[in-house]
Amino acid sequence: MGLRLKFNLVLVVVFLAGFAAAGFVSRELLQDNAREEVLRNARLMMEAALSVRTYTVEQIKPHLDQQLQDVFLPQTVPAYAATETINQIQKKYRNYGYKEATLNPTNPRDRATDWEADLVQKFRQRSDTQEIVAERTGGTGRVLYIAKPIQITNAACLQCHSVPAAAPASMLKIYGEANGFGWKHNEIIGAQVVTVPMDVPILNADRAFKTFMVSLAVVFGVVFVVLNLMLSWLIVRPIRQMSQAADNVSTGDFDVPEFSDGGKDEMSVLGNSFNRMRRSLEKAMQMIERDGA
């Protein structure tokens, strides 16, 4: 097995090991970054919804409560205001979602689906849990969701949701008496759920991963060629010349030109040593021939 082949085998083994390690680490890092990006978007949507809720309670509802007996305005309901605001965002970002998923809602559009109802039950079973972050596969593909519990901490909410008799007539006229009642103070009645698609960030991460791996392979190819050229020019070619010169000298041919003594690298030192050996051998042969004569 030649020196070049040994060198290339070691180089290929080292590259493959490094290529695999770099691929594993970079893929995990890119996937984690993509998930973090999706999570940031989801948290931003959740904060937007919470801000709308707070704004509605503090600055909108107090001015409209006096009209409640005459006409019910859904805009005074924090859940309605948050949902309508996020719906405006969904017109541009269709795969993003927000829902005030409730087990027994006043507005039928807020009724929890099966998987949302499971989230509500988890919050009920673990009252200390304030947030659930997970992934699921939806109709639009892989999505990440954040869920927060909706708990009746303000007793004023029970004015509209305890029993139909206590609710404003204007509200009953719109929504009826069948839904949205029987709520209790401190009860978890639903969950705020934000869903954000993961397909695009994951696709971008995969594209970046492929670009990185192809670039890494190209860099290795260039390094492989350059190293082989350097190996041939600086090591293999001088060694072959020395080997040929040694064969000639061993048969008594001392007309082999000496190697250049310029340079201070290992090959130059080896060439100088070979030159000294050749001169010594040539003198020894001359002495033997002279003594024999």
Tell me, what CATH number does 235's domain have?
A: 1.10.8.500
Report yes or no on 99 lying in a domain.
yes
| Residues 77 and 188 placed together within one structural domain of the fold | yes
262-293 per-position pLDDT tens digit: 666 666 767 777 777 777 776 776 677 676 65
Q: Are the CB atoms for 106 and 179 separated by under 8 Å?
A: yes
Count: domains in the chain: 2
Indicate whether 173 belongs to any domain: yes
Q: Do 182 and 262 have their domain in common?
A: no
Residues near 216 by Cβ (< 8 Å), separated by ≥ 6? Answer: 19, 22
Distance CA 40, CA 196 (A): 10
In terms of residue numbers, what domain contains 105?
Answer: 7-198
CA pair distance 111, 162, nearest whole angstrom: 18
Average pLDDT over residues 59-73: 76
Are 89 and 12 members of one domain?
yes
Domain finish residue from 174, 198, 222: 198
- The verdict on 22 and 61 lying in the same domain is yes
pLDDT digits (tens, 9 = 90+) for 216-243: 999 999 998 898 888 777 777 777 777 7
| Mean predicted lDDT score pLDDT of the chain | 84
Q: State which of 198, 219, 254 marks the end of a domain.
A: 198
Last residue of a domain, one of 175, 198, 221: 198
162 and 263 both lie in a single domain: no
Q: Which two tokens stand for residue 64?
A: 């409209």
- The answer to whether the Cα torsion of 80, 84, 89, 91 is positive or negative is positive
Cα–Cα separations (whole angstroms), residue 59 to 39, 64, 227, 235, 264: 30, 10, 72, 82, 84
Q: Which range, of 9-13, 115-119, 163-167, averages the lowest pLDDT?
A: 163-167
Give 3-state DSSP helix, strand, coil % of the chain, rounded to 5.
65, 10, 25
Q: Is residue 115 part of a domain?
A: yes
The reply to whether 257 and 145 lie within a common domain is no
Q: Are residues 193 and 238 in the same domain?
A: no
Report, as an integer, the average pLDDT of 182-187: 87
| pTM of the complete model | 0.70
